[in-house]
A and B are shown apart, each in its own frame.
Chain A
Amino acid sequence: MSWTDIILQQLNIRDEVQDKESPYFHAFTVLSNQLHNHTSQSEIGASELLHWSVISRENHRLKQENTDLIASLNQSAINLEKAEMALSSEIKTKKSLEKMLARSNTKIDNLGHELKEKDKAIEIINDEILLHQIQTNVLNDKVAELSRQNEVLVQRLMTRAQVEAEKLNDANEKVSKKPPN
């Protein structure tokens, strides 16, 4: 239970205790006013009585009107203070949101800069990839050419080996056909 709840509870109890007897006190005030009017009326002549009665009634009405008006003004003042507090709270929230927005905008700016940097880095990497691809292609061509050359050389080596083998076979055959001395 917050302190405001405790205080409100105690104020309610305080007012309840006082309000128990208030009707008697209010009634007394009304009656004493009436008594005052009656006494005043009895002190004046009959010719002025009607005039006095009208003035007295009007006076009472205006007093009541004034009391009601002040009560209404007091309530308006309380409502106004409530509205001012709500407004102040809204202004605080607005300021807080504006600060948050400013912070977010700064963050967005920073992220934008970071993004640009990263884009540049990506561009450089893409260029590098392209360069590497070109180099790969060139190297692949080179490998293909070397493979082809290697195949030709192997073919030539095989052909030469075959020719040499045939020559060696022929020579061996001639040696074997020649009669011993």
Chain B
Amino acid sequence: MADSDIIEIKAKLWNGHINLRVVLAYKDQKVEYLCTIYRNSYITLKLPAIVEYFSAFVQGLSSKQLWFEYEGVPIKWNLPVGLLYDYLHLPSLLGNFESSSSWTVYLRYDDYPSDYIIPFIYKKDDGTVDFDRSLKEVIVNQLKQSCFVLNGNSKPIMSLSEANSIQLWVSIVDHNLSAYTSINKKIVPKDKAQKIPVRIFIPGTTTIVQAPIYPYGEEEPTSMRDVLSLHLPHLFAEREAIALPYIHGIDTQSLLDEPLLKTWEIFKHLDNFLYVVVIPRV
């Protein structure tokens, strides 16, 4: 295992993107907006451009509570786009390679499903919705959670200077790896993480396993197989797993027996959580 391969993997994870087709039902027709979005990013960051485009069709769109829907499921905008794609869309693509890989979601501006997704509570002075501020607040909270799990306290993130906090957020918005890495280094532990923040999603269910994992077992480092067989024993039996773990859109069964801490270091998302989507074998 060469270090250069790991850097290459990190670069591909950072630059991974998906093609997003946003559809707005307008009168009797459907209007489409196409864009590419980084997997390790948030759909909300595209909202200003989407609103600008669709404002030609719907007046006052920027003042409305907007949300995305995929096959009747409201999309949680606080989760990384890549995770949402893997959780909601990828299972339908597996074994069906003829279909388009782009993801079609609907933009809705009525009946905001506040029970399922976080509402945008902030407004700008001109009365338009401040998507950016809401997203920032949620992501910073998620960063605090992961920081607590990793360090046993939130001190590293709480003690960031204001300039660093702003720089961290701007780096997430701009998808600037250099700036993000330099600030994030101050949050993640240098030597030994106390626990690893992991979230496991199962498509087609509302089950989300959110478990801080000890990086080391009694004798050996904890592996992804240990975690999955502990929390999803019916899917990851000892002999043969009937499901596969997907991270960043790829099947990661080759990582099942690798130390989870190493997997987290390479595959973690912007909020320092490791998101795993468990998809049954086709």
Q: What's the least CB distance linking A9 to chain B, in Å? A: 9
Given contacts A14-B250, A70-B174, A89-B3, A8 and B33 within 8 Å (CB-CB): no
Select B34's contact among A13, A28, A66, A70, beta carbons within 8 Å: A28
Are B7 and A3 touching (Cβ within 8 A)?
A: no
Are B181 and A77 touching (Cβ within 8 A)?
A: yes
Query: Residue of B at shortest CB range from A83?
Result: B7
Are B178 and A76 touching (Cβ within 8 A)?
A: yes
Cα separation A14 to B17 with both chains bound (whole Å): 9
Select B3's contact among A36, A78, A86, beta carbons within 8 Å: A86
Of A18-26, A94-102, A132-140, A150-158, the one with at least 4 CB within 8 A of chain B: A18-26
29 contacts between A and B (CB under 8 A): A3-B254, A4-B6, A6-B254, A7-B9, A7-B255, A8-B5, A8-B9, A14-B249, A18-B19, A18-B101, A21-B102, A24-B19, A28-B35, A29-B36, A36-B53, A39-B56, A70-B176, A73-B177, A73-B178, A74-B14, A74-B15, A74-B175, A74-B177, A76-B178, A77-B177, A78-B10, A81-B7, A82-B3, A85-B3
Chain A residues with Cβ below 8 Å from B6 are: 4, 85
Q: What's the least CB distance linking A33 to chain B, in Å? A: 9
Query: Residue of B at shortest CB range from A6?
Result: B254
Cα separation A8 to B4 with both chains bound (whole Å): 11
Are A21 and B19 touching (Cβ within 8 A)?
A: yes
How large, as a class, is the contact surface on chain A? 35 or more
Chain B residues with Cβ below 8 Å from A7 are: 9, 250, 252, 254-255
Q: What's the least CB distance linking A169 to chain B, in Å? A: 113
Cα separation A69 to B7 with both chains bound (whole Å): 20
Are B250 and A10 touching (Cβ within 8 A)?
A: yes
Are A11 and B17 touching (Cβ within 8 A)?
A: no
Residue B18 interfacial (CB < 8 Å): yes
Query: Residue of A at shortest CB range from B102?
Result: A21
| CB-contacts of B1-55 with A (<8 A) | 1-20, 33-36, 49, 52-53
Residue A44 interfacial (CB < 8 Å): no
Are A25 and B251 touching (Cβ within 8 A)?
A: no
Main SS at interface, chain A: helix
Cα separation A22 to B4 with both chains bound (whole Å): 27
Which A residues form the contact surface with B (CB < 8 A)? 2-8, 10-15, 17-18, 20-22, 24-26, 28-29, 32, 36, 39, 66, 70, 73-74, 76-78, 80-82, 85-86, 89
B48-73 near A? 1/0 per residue, CB < 8 Å: 01001100100000000000000000
Residue B206 interfacial (CB < 8 Å): no
Are A82 and B12 touching (Cβ within 8 A)?
A: no
Cα separation A26 to B17 with both chains bound (whole Å): 12
Are A80 and B178 touching (Cβ within 8 A)?
A: yes
Are B19 and A74 touching (Cβ within 8 A)?
A: no
Chain B residues with Cβ below 8 Å from A12 are: 12
Interface centre among B13, B33, B53, by most A CB within 10 Å? B53
Number of interface residues of B (CB under 8 A): 46
Are A24 and B34 touching (Cβ within 8 A)?
A: yes
Chain A residues with Cβ below 8 Å from B179 are: 73
Are B19 and A25 touching (Cβ within 8 A)?
A: yes
Are B53 and A32 touching (Cβ within 8 A)?
A: yes
Residue B258 interfacial (CB < 8 Å): yes
Please provide the 7 A-B residue pairs with the shortest distance between their CB atoms, ordered closest to farther. Answer: A77-B178, A28-B34, A4-B5, A10-B250, A85-B3, A74-B177, A6-B254
Are B178 and A25 touching (Cβ within 8 A)?
A: no
Residue B161 interfacial (CB < 8 Å): no
Chain B residues with Cβ below 8 Å from A3 are: 1, 254-255, 258
Cα separation A5 to B4 with both chains bound (whole Å): 11
Q: What's the least CB distance linking B244 to chain A, in Å? A: 11
